[in-house]
């Protein structure tokens, strides 16, 4: 049958393998789903027709077998009634029906085999579609992540990263050098230290400490503390 050859690849096709070979699985998954949906509609129509043919062939076989059984029974009745000529007529008809039945059996066997193949194709196609639908979002998400990762890899290539770090180091070095120069100028701009003034402050502090000691001794004497 034409339908069997037209959809023969459905039995052997492997959706996962096709997607693995695709350059852009995200786009291919949508394309495959559309194509498979079209195939499924055709397969359903053809499967129904083939199954109807199988049923018709089986019905003809069953009817033929009933006829054979009927004439076999009539031949037996004729013999029991001692009517051999009648029995011979019935047996002749039975043999004709058996010859016809052999052809009907062959037609039914072919129709049955075709129906089995069509049901296999239909069921496989339904499984593939359901599997692909369940993986559709995952495939698209992975494809999107892969594209994003590729762009990041291009932006953060090793040579670019090293160039950015070197530029940063040079900038930091210039800032440190400028800070050292500012500190140096501040030190040079400061007034020289007056040593006499520093010593004066030192002795003033000593006088204050001595005065405090004198007052402390007087207070202890007043309180009778040794």
Which of residues 101, 131, 155 is at a domain's end? 155
The residue segments making up the domain with residue 221 are 195-226
Q: Which of 8, 1, 105 is nearest to 50 (CA)?
A: 1
Give the span between the Cα atoms of 46 and 48, in whole angstroms.
Answer: 5
Cα–Cα nearest to 1, from 43, 61, 55, 56: 43
Q: Looking at residues 86-97, what average pLDDT do you find?
A: 94
Domain count, the chain: 2
The percentage of the chain sitting over the pLDDT mark of 70, rounded to a whole number, equals 60
Average pLDDT rounded to a whole number, residues 61-74: 95
Q: How confident is the model at residue 1 (pLDDT cuts 50, 70, 90)?
A: very low
Claim to verify: residue 101 and residue 205 sit in the same structural domain: no
- E strand segments, 33-103: none
**Which CB contacts under 8 angstroms, 24+ apart, belong to 10-15?**
10/39, 10/43, 10/121, 10/124, 10/125, 11/117, 11/120, 11/121, 11/124, 13/128, 15/128, 15/131, 15/132
Q: Which residue has the higher pLDDT, 181 or 99?
A: 99
Residue 184 lies in a domain: no
pLDDT tens for 118-159 read 888 888 888 888 887 877 777 777 766 666 666 666 655 545
User: Whose structure tokens read 């199988």?
Assistant: 54
What does DSSP assign to residue 118? H
Predicted pLDDT of residue 147: 66
Q: Report pTM.
A: 0.51
Q: 57 and 150 share a domain?
A: yes
- 110 and 215, same structural domain? no
Sign of the Cα torsion 62, 65, 66, 67 reads positive
148 lies in the same domain as 218: no
Which tens digit of pLDDT belongs to each residue from 9-45? Answer: 555 555 555 556 556 666 777 787 888 788 888 888 8
Higher pLDDT, 92 or 212: 92
Contacting residues for 190 by C-beta, under 8 A, at least 6 apart? none
């Amino acid at each position: 049958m034409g339908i069997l050859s037209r959809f023969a690849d459905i039995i052997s096709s492997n959706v996962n393998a096709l997607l693995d070979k695709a350059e852009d699985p995200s786009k291919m998954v949508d394309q495959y789903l559309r194509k498979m949906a079209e195939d499924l509609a055709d397969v359903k129509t053809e499967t129904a027709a083939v199954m109807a043919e199988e049923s018709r062939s089986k019905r003809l076989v069953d009817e033929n077998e009933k006829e054979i059984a009927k004439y076999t029974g009539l031949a037996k009745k004729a013999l029991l009634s001692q009517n051999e000529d009648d029995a011979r007529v019935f047996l002749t008809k039975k043999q004709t029906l058996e010859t016809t039945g052999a052809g009907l059996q062959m037609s039914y066997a072919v129709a049955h085999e075709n129906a089995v193949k069509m049901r296999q194709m239909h069921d496989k196609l339904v499984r593939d579609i359901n599997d692909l639908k369940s993986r559709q979002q995952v495939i698209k998400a992975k494809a999107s992540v892969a594209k994003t990762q590729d762009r990041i890899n291009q932006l953060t290539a090793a040579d670019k990263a090293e160039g950015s770090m070197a530029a940063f180091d040079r900038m930091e070095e210039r800032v440190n050098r400028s800070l050292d120069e500012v500190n140096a100028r501040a030190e040079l701009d400061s007034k020289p230290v007056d040593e006499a003034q520093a010593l004066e402050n030192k002795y003033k502090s000593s006088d204050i400490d001595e005065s405090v000691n004198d007052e402390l001794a007087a207070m202890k004497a007043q309180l009778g503390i040794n």
